[in-house]
């Protein structure tokens, strides 16, 4: 695809360290006067205004059907074409999108992060570089518990039930098989500083030669 930007997809299981990897790359490139943007798959959960709070809580948020992939694809294409977008804002307390949106302006590097990014052909084809963050299952579970209790106001019992009912089964059905589409696999998540820096350094090089159409 002809474009003046590079799009990077960062996928992996819940709690694998995707966000840590994405932010390391963002901060690394900002130090070289590059201003990347980050789109989180979680921002693109579908609106469910027609459902009650109790009904929304019971939805399977680890299934691809809950993600507004057409909107995410549209936004990535718009950014590649130099257009600004209005990114949705998802509220984890109400299990629904907020009415407000965040204006995101186009830039040379677009990083997209989420567990299901590599499961859809049309979305996968938009990524110039596909990175899969691979972390031990026990470590991922511990991270999810800590994150959801501290950042999302969830109880331990609700996290445990959700993990058993949807998170683990969906991980095995959708996330693990999608790993085969990755260009780069980073073991140990955010703790693998060497692997992350290698990816960040390569992206810096790609950006420097973008106009010459040199690739990985």
Domain boundaries, the chain: 6-212
Q: Please state, in angstroms and rounded to a whole number, the distance separating the CA atoms of residues 179 and 200.
A: 20
pLDDT given at position 216: 47
Q: Please state, in angstroms and rounded to a whole number, the distance separating the CA atoms of residues 88 and 44.
A: 6
pLDDT given at position 158: 83
Task: Evaluate whether 203 touches 130 at the Cβ level (below 8 Å).
Answer: no
Q: Please state, in angstroms and rounded to a whole number, the distance separating the CA atoms of residues 162 and 188.
A: 24
**Record: fold of 6-212:** Rossmann fold (3.40.50)
Per-residue pLDDT of the chain (216 residues; tens, 9 = 90+): 456 799 999 999 888 889 999 999 999 998 877 789 999 999 999 999 999 999 999 999 999 999 999 999 999 999 999 999 999 999 999 999 999 999 999 999 999 999 999 999 999 999 999 999 998 877 787 877 888 887 787 888 888 888 888 888 898 999 999 999 999 999 988 889 999 999 999 999 998 877 566 444
What is the value of pTM for the model shown?
Answer: 0.88
Number of Cβ within a 10 Å radius of residue 42: 15
Q: Please state, in angstroms and rounded to a whole number, the distance separating the CA atoms of residues 168 and 187.
A: 19
pLDDT given at position 213: 60
pLDDT given at position 100: 96
CA distance readout (Å), 214 to 36, 107, 114, 209: 19, 18, 27, 6
Q: Is the dihedral of CA 151, 173, 140, 166 positive or negative?
A: positive
Reported residue count of the chain is 216
């Amino acid at each position: 695809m002809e474009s003046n930007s590079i799009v990077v997809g960062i996928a992996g299981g819940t709690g694998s360290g995707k966000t840590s990897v994405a932010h390391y790359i963002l901060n690394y490139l900002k130090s070289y006067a590059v201003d990347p943007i980050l789109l989180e798959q979680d921002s693109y959960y579908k609106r469910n205004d027609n459902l009650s709070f109790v009904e929304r809580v019971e939805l399977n948020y680890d299934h691809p059907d809950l993600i507004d992939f057409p909107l995410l694809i549209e936004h990535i294409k718009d950014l590649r074409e130099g257009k600004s977008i209005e990114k949705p804002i998802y509220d984890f307390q109400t299990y629904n999108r907020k009415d407000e949106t965040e204006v995101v302006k186009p830039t040379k590097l677009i990083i997209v992060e989420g567990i299901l990014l590599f499961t859809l052909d049309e979305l996968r084809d938009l990524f110039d570089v596909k990175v899969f963050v691979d972390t031990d299952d026990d470590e991922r579970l511990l991270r999810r518990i800590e994150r959801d209790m501290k950042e999302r106001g969830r109880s331990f019992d609700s996290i445990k039930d959700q993990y058993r009912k949807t998170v683990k089964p969906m991980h095995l059905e959708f996330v693990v098989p999608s790993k085969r589409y990755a260009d780069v696999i980073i073991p140990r998540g955010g703790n693998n500083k060497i692997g992350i820096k290698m990816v960040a350094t390569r992206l810096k090089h790609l950006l420097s030669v973008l106009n010459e159409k040199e690739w990985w």
